[in-house]
Structure 1
Amino acid sequence: MGRLSLVFLVALLRATECGVISNKEPLGSESCRNFGLAFERMFAIPGESPLLECPLQIQYLFDNPETPYNVTWFEERTGWEISGGQQNVSLSGTSLWFPNISMQSQGRYVCVLRAQSRCYKQAAVLVVSEMSSGDCIRPQRGFQSISSGVNDLLACPLRRYIRSVDHPSIQWYKNCEPLRKDEKFAPNEGFLNIRKVHLDDAGLYTCKMTFSLGGVVGEMAESVECEVRADEYLEKPRLIEPVNEIIKVERGSSFRKGCVVFVPGKGTHHVAVLWKVLLGSEEEFISENTSRRIHQERMNESRTEEGIVLVRTLSVSDVWQEDFYLNFTCMASSSRGTPSGQFSLVPADPNLVLLLGLLLGLVALLFVMGVSLCTVFKVELALWVRTVFPFLYKTTDGDGKQYDAYIAYPRVLDGSSEKAEVFAMSTLPQVLEGRYGYKLFILGRDGLPGEAVVDVVEEALTRCRRLLLLYTSTSLCSPEALEWAEQQTGLYRGLVENTVSIVLLELEEIREPDRLPHSVRLLKEKQGALQAWKRRKRWMCCDWKMEERLTSLDPSARFWREVRYHMPVRGKAKNRNWFSF
């Protein structure tokens, strides 16, 4: 009976969702949707007090569980409505109760459910049979099977009425003999647990429920034919997940959760896995219609050596705000028990790891961009800071120096040296002295006539803060360069004595760098050279203009900024003795 009830429950659920309902039939002056004849029967014998439940699954008929409705009963044979004032039958909620049933009460009874704009009906069958004289075996019985060698259980068909009556008490019988709780049999809430099932445990079992309703005591009973199977066995299903879980999800995201049930043993199972949700105080089974936002998918089944694994997935295509904090429950329904587990959805916490990662990524990006900008525009930034914040730098006054830079250039009489001389004697002074106010020393312009060149160079270098060494592709490679006093003295002071900073100004492209003197080559490799001949390529069509500028020694603005960057900083801050008072 329990197995058939479960099958009917699932079939009714699918029929309701898909709209598969039988033809409409008139009832009185109205037309109701007719679900036909209910599959389950209620069996009784004269003198018992059976309950006949309304077979309509009311919880599946309305989308809103708060929809108001009323239930009325009709006797199909006469068409009369059953009221609470009759002697042989009374109303108890949505059920009919027969306090002292007789043979005349058997028949079909129609349950009619009316809502504001809907009406449904379904007929239930009550079978009343007399027992043979001197026989304790009931005329009708159900069928259940248990497995030998393991602990198994029988389900009382009347357990569904426990919540509909007051003070229920169930007594089990085997072959008309009452069973007491011992090491073999253990009655428990509508079930009879049988430990270490043996073939001798087969037989006829009867469960009798004594109860009270409206202050009147009654009883009803059902019998079960028990078969013991030796070739297969199935234990009570175990629900693996969910187990009272709290899951964090983001609103608007999709979500899937599998209900995993394990049925130990082997053989054919009759376990139904269903999802339901608690809305307010009412539980509602979740639809199997995949077009709905929340639905349950088909049950998947796999077999292992230890048993059967059943998985049914709950799918939420779009999580809404009202889905949070609801109890979603998975129920594994079987004749051996109905374990269940639940979970709740809660809003996900802000992803601090992601935010921290984005923040660190942004900082790293800004750092890389800053380093790149500082690398590319180092010269421009340094010159801007010197101009805007001159007070950050110490003044050069009082350092014992008279000139900002000593200009040394090749004095070999060839074509390239003539251009270098024009650049040193004319272009450099015009820009550095005339535009930026630097003080330059140029041999032949600032020295006194008749002085020895070596002495002038020695003295001038001691009074200069920088040495600007100009050279061309041939000036340092010719024999005359070996006796170039400015070069030799300046390199010695810069590289050996470290008393003056040297800035190399390369006036022509050096195609054979190995021909340069070893000291100049080392200095160029260490700190580089400012290349007056080099210009940025912007457009390929302007290459001829670049060639013309290369031959005319017309340095770019970038070159002049680099020269200024290497010149002494003329700050405005005063030297202070912080330890004087």
Structure 2
Amino acid sequence: MRMAKSVNVLLMLLVNAAITLAAETYQVMEGHLLLLKCPNVQGHVHNNVTWAREGGPTGMTASLPSGVEVRDGILYFLPALTSHNGSYICESTLEKRTVKVNFGVSVLTGLCPPADEVKTFPMGVRKSLPCKLEHILRLDNSRNIRWLKDCQPMERTISVLKNGLMRLVNVTQEDAGTYTCLVDASIDGRNYTSAVSIELDIETNFTFPREPEVIQEKEQVLSVTMGQRVELKCWALMDSDNEAFMYWIVNGSFTDSDPELEEWFNQKQGQMYESTLTISRVLPRFLNVSIRCRVQNSQGVKDCFMQLREANNSWFYSSVAVGVASPLLLLLLVFLLGYFKADVVLAYRKISGYFVIHQDANQIPYDALVSAVPIPTTRTRNPVAEFTLRTLPGHLEGRHGYRLFIAGRDDRPGEATPDAMAAALSQCRRLIIIVAPAEEAWKTCNVEEQQLTYVQNLGLYDALTHNTPAVILVEIDGPVDYGHLPRSLGFIKRRQGALIWKKNSNNRVFWKKLRVLMPPQRQSSAYFET
């Protein structure tokens, strides 16, 4: 990996130059499988890679010896033989940039190759040795991994992971020696073996660093917007040693393989370390997957888990919609309530009438006392008399069960006295006064000389002073000039308005409004009509 990064830097500095890099010599046992791979030059693919043996025509695969072939840009030794000793050149070209790497191959006899790396472990720790045969382990076929110590089977109990990593628990002085990792692989139906060795030294005088500690251990779920730039931070406490690292793993992969990811690691102060993962733009592949910040040193490994989820903006749009619709709905509700107010009140009375027991009819036997200006008589058939004596009782009494006391109709002979009229008024819950346009004779009279009947005066006085009974003012047969009527009627008109009944009209709205102003129908005699 370090060599690959060096190649990338050199390519940036020398765009049009040819670069030749010297690689270390690979020691392989005779009969073992060996794979050589060019450095991972960014932008290069295996079609741009050629191999040749030193001494032959550069770039021509025909110069490779028998048993050595190129597959997907990787040089395969199937298997390595002593005749394969020598130097091999890998040449990669892209946009006038050429990189050449020399690989030395030394084929030895025996089972275990000499160690190409030395590791030092302190006593008493739990450590692992890597099997550095990455190219072999990545082959898509079944394989067997085993470890030898000093080229002999292991005597102590060990655990080997799928990636070949061998774990040593409670390292002791006896664990020093040369360890060999052997991997069996199958290619084209033939079985091969590869081996790599590493020397282990044990250090007796060693101060153990503290186990790393992640500041934020609980999983964090962050809401993000697609396409935005995001920075994720991870903090940890740990003692620095040669094996102290902080790095990120996104959906099981390291970040260096993704161009949208970039990470930084730095020491803040003392034993505090910080690692930052920058996502240049949030893509779908970063959502709802595991993102781990791994903190690792020689004493252990700790992970900080994070996850990105797409921000849910539906609440914002819902709030806007509700904010816009609420005033309109409120206005519509107010309009409907105003327009259908009478229907709502009557429907409520109809429903509640099944459950509410009304007061005894003997206490207040009449629902309303009806009086007109001028007073109608049964001998007079003018519009006021027609409405007072026929139309109004026919609708309220005949269709809806109300009981009316109509002046001029229900007066008993000999009882037209102030006391009798006052008693009749006290037995009514409403006072309906019907007025019509004054005739010419009324208009010529002095306003102060126009006197109402005693019951009308008494009812208006009680209504103005005690608000009982409630007065319902009804205008019929055209607009009424209250300037030629007593002031009390004009005051009632100004305070609460009047219902208007028009001749030759169905007056449906008029009757609904009148029923609203009337008390609820009696339970025993109500005839409900929508």
> What is the TM-score normalised by the length of structure 1?
0.51
2:341 to 381, 389, 397: 381
The alpha-carbon distance between structure 1 residues 78 and 56, as it changes in their structure 2 partners (threshold 3 A), is same
The separation in 2 between residues aligned to 1:108 and 1:468, in whole angstroms, is 120
Percent identical across equivalent pairs?
A: 10
The alpha-carbon distance between structure 1 residues 154 and 310, as it changes in their structure 2 partners (threshold 3 A), is farther
Deviations for 1:104-150, whole angstroms, at most 9, x for unmatched residues?
Answer: 84435124378xxx68754334345699xxxx994x73243434332
1:155 partnered with 2:158: no
1:560 to 498, 503, 506: 498
1:126 partnered with 2:118: no
The separation in 1 between residues aligned to 2:88 and 2:269, in whole angstroms, is 46
The separation in 1 between residues aligned to 2:93 and 2:174, in whole angstroms, is 44
Which residue of structure 2 lines up, in the alignment, with residue 287 of structure 1? 258
Classify the secondary structure of the residue corresponding to 2:24: strand
How far is the alpha carbon of 1:97 from its aligned partner? Answer: 3.8
1:41 to 24, 33, 38: 24
2:419 to 446, 454, 462: 454
How far is the alpha carbon of 1:357 from its aligned partner? Answer: 10
- Whether the 8 Å CA contact 2:236–2:273 is kept in 1: the answer is yes
How far is the alpha carbon of 1:220 from its aligned partner? Answer: 4.4
Question: Which residue identity does 2:180 align to in structure 1?
Answer: C
1:20 partnered with 2:12: yes
Which residue of structure 2 lines up, in the alignment, with residue 30 of structure 1? none
The alpha-carbon distance between structure 1 residues 172 and 9, as it changes in their structure 2 partners (threshold 3 A), is farther
How far is the alpha carbon of 1:44 from its aligned partner? Answer: 1.3
1:195 partnered with 2:169: yes
How far is the alpha carbon of 1:73 from its aligned partner? Answer: 0.8
- Whether the 8 Å CA contact 2:24–2:103 is kept in 1: the answer is yes
The separation in 2 between residues aligned to 1:233 and 1:362, in whole angstroms, is 62
The separation in 1 between residues aligned to 2:123 and 2:136, in whole angstroms, is 30
The alpha-carbon distance between structure 1 residues 283 and 93, as it changes in their structure 2 partners (threshold 3 A), is farther
The separation in 2 between residues aligned to 1:382 and 1:284, in whole angstroms, is 73
How far is the alpha carbon of 1:196 from its aligned partner? Answer: 1.1
How far is the alpha carbon of 1:161 from its aligned partner? Answer: 2.8
Which residue of structure 1 lines up, in the alignment, with residue 478 of structure 2? none
How far is the alpha carbon of 1:154 from its aligned partner? Answer: 1.9
- Whether the 8 Å CA contact 2:237–2:272 is kept in 1: the answer is yes
Classify the secondary structure of the residue corresponding to 2:138: helix
The separation in 2 between residues aligned to 1:529 and 1:576, in whole angstroms, is 22
Which residue of structure 2 lines up, in the alignment, with residue 545 of structure 1? none
Question: Which residue identity does 1:382 align to in structure 2?
Answer: A
Which residue of structure 2 lines up, in the alignment, with residue 209 of structure 1? 182
- Whether the 8 Å CA contact 1:261–1:309 is kept in 2: the answer is yes
- Whether the 8 Å CA contact 2:130–2:166 is kept in 1: the answer is yes
Which residue of structure 2 lines up, in the alignment, with residue 472 of structure 1? none
2:51 to 73, 92, 113: 73
The separation in 1 between residues aligned to 2:209 and 2:297, in whole angstroms, is 13
Which residue of structure 1 lines up, in the alignment, with residue 36 of structure 2? 53
- Whether the 8 Å CA contact 1:237–1:264 is kept in 2: the answer is yes
Q: How does 1:488-527 map to 2 (within 5 A)?
A: 505-506=463-464, 520=466
The alpha-carbon distance between structure 1 residues 268 and 354, as it changes in their structure 2 partners (threshold 3 A), is same
Deviations for 1:438-485, whole angstroms, at most 9, x for unmatched residues?
Answer: 589679xx99899532124334655x552369xxxxxxxxxxxxxx99
How far is the alpha carbon of 1:180 from its aligned partner? Answer: 0.7
Classify the secondary structure of the residue corresponding to 1:467: strand
The alpha-carbon distance between structure 1 residues 157 and 150, as it changes in their structure 2 partners (threshold 3 A), is same
Question: Which residue identity does 2:165 align to in structure 1?
Answer: F
1:466 partnered with 2:466: no
- Whether the 8 Å CA contact 2:227–2:283 is kept in 1: the answer is yes
Deviations for 1:212-258, whole angstroms, at most 9, x for unmatched residues?
Answer: 666475654344454637124487999x9999x9x998995869696
- Whether the 8 Å CA contact 2:472–2:517 is kept in 1: the answer is no
Deviations for 1:319-351, whole angstroms, at most 9, x for unmatched residues?
Answer: 55xx49997776969898999999999999998
1:182 partnered with 2:156: yes
Q: How does 1:349-428 map to 2 (within 5 A)?
A: 377=338, 381-382=341-342, 404-405=368-369, 425=373
The alpha-carbon distance between structure 1 residues 187 and 105, as it changes in their structure 2 partners (threshold 3 A), is same
Which residue of structure 1 lines up, in the alignment, with residue 87 of structure 2? 107
Q: How does 1:541-556 map to 2 (within 5 A)?
A: 553=491, 555-556=493-494
The separation in 2 between residues aligned to 1:106 and 1:42, in whole angstroms, is 9
Question: Which residue identity does 1:72 align to in structure 2?
Answer: T
Question: Which residue identity does 2:103 align to in structure 1?
Answer: L
The separation in 1 between residues aligned to 2:331 and 2:224, in whole angstroms, is 34
- Whether the 8 Å CA contact 1:155–1:335 is kept in 2: the answer is no
The alpha-carbon distance between structure 1 residues 157 and 465, as it changes in their structure 2 partners (threshold 3 A), is closer
- Whether the 8 Å CA contact 1:155–1:191 is kept in 2: the answer is yes
- Greater displacement, 336-345 / 164-173: 336-345
Classify the secondary structure of the residue corresponding to 2:154: coil
How far is the alpha carbon of 1:152 from its aligned partner? Answer: 0.8
Which residue of structure 2 lines up, in the alignment, with residue 231 of structure 1? 207
Equivalent residues, number: 443
